[in-house]
Amino acid sequence: MSHADESDDHGHHLPAVEDWPRGFGEASWWPFVTAVGAAIIYAGAAMYILSQGSDPLVSLELSLGVFAFGVVGFVVGLYGWTYHAFIAAYWDESSGSAGLRLGMLAFLGSEIATFGAGFVYYFFIRSDVWSEETLPELVTSGDIFGSLVIANTVLLILSSITLHYAHVALRNSNRRRFLGLLGLTLALGVVFLGGQVYEYYEFIVHEGLSLGGGVFNSAFYGLTGLHGLHVSLGAVLLGIVFVRSLFGQYTAENHTSVTTVSMYWHFVDVVWVFLVLVLYVGAIV
């Protein structure tokens, strides 16, 4: 690399644009690493289910180890992927914003299919074996649960509003307002995750809504857990955007990653509203 090239990259390491493996030019393997990590996470979750009961097929330690390995691989792959797509592109001013937005739309389409499969399972058990179980009243079983669901829903909807106006502020070159609203969005997302963890604790410990307690329980924890995983990923992405914004990397003209992360965050918010209507309210209708 020439001295000019070294000065152009602003001293940033560009792991995903190196010629690796040799002979493939600038091919990036980070999306593949991310996908493999996600697959291992699902495998670990499946192994955890198989480790439950009086006659488990696999050990609990093995299932947790596989899950943790998948999380590490997913995070490492996600780092390389986002660095390649956004941070490296930012410094050489070749972000290809239109293509990245289309890529996010394609990704969200696959996410719709993922959640759709879960909802198909839910509606199937409701139409077939629903009457054979005593279903918990998730909203009316106590003031704490009804209030918690409402509070979490308000928090997530509010986070979409704050993120929208943060993006508007950036487009209007109001960096102080952008940083404040973006930080507030991230904080609201973290509080939402804390509320969901507390809700799980109450359901499992005090209400007896165990993971292996029937088809409704599997649908409830499967769908809400999948959504929680997506909110966690969204919080990580918001955190990356927030840190980058502290270094002044975004302008009114260059904000592709803010746009794509906003698209993702609004998507998970809409999914949550649908989850509340179907799982929480729908369980007592």
Our count of domains for the chain comes to: 2
Indicate if 59 and 114 belong to the same structural domain: no
Indicate if 80 and 208 belong to the same structural domain: no
pTM over cut 0.85? no
Residues whose CB is less than 8 angstroms from the CB of residue 136 and which lie 6 or more positions away in sequence, other chains included: 203, 207, 209, 216, 283
- Cis status of the peptide bond prior to 21, with omega within 30 of 0: yes
Indicate if 59 and 188 belong to the same structural domain: no
Separation CA 78–CA 37 (nearest Å): 9
Indicate if 217 and 115 belong to the same structural domain: yes
Indicate if 112 and 89 belong to the same structural domain: no
Indicate if 67 and 27 belong to the same structural domain: yes
Check residue 75 and give its pLDDT.
83
Which amino acid would we find at residue 146? G
Separation CA 285–CA 221 (nearest Å): 19
Given a cut of 70, whether residue 167 has pLDDT beyond it is yes
Indicate if 119 and 3 belong to the same structural domain: no
Indicate if 136 and 84 belong to the same structural domain: no
Which amino acid would we find at residue 9? D
Mark which of 94, 123, 157 sits at the end of a domain: 94
pLDDT interval class at 174 (50, 70, 90)? very high
Mark which of 94, 118, 150 sits at the end of a domain: 94
Indicate if 72 and 210 belong to the same structural domain: no
What is the domain-level CATH number for residue 196? 1.20.120.80
Indicate if 77 and 196 belong to the same structural domain: no
Indicate if 167 and 244 belong to the same structural domain: yes
Structural domain that includes position 143: 103-285
Indicate if 219 and 111 belong to the same structural domain: yes
pLDDT interval class at 252 (50, 70, 90)? confident
Digit-coded pLDDT (tens) for 31-85: 778 888 888 888 888 888 788 777 788 888 898 899 899 889 888 887 777 777 6
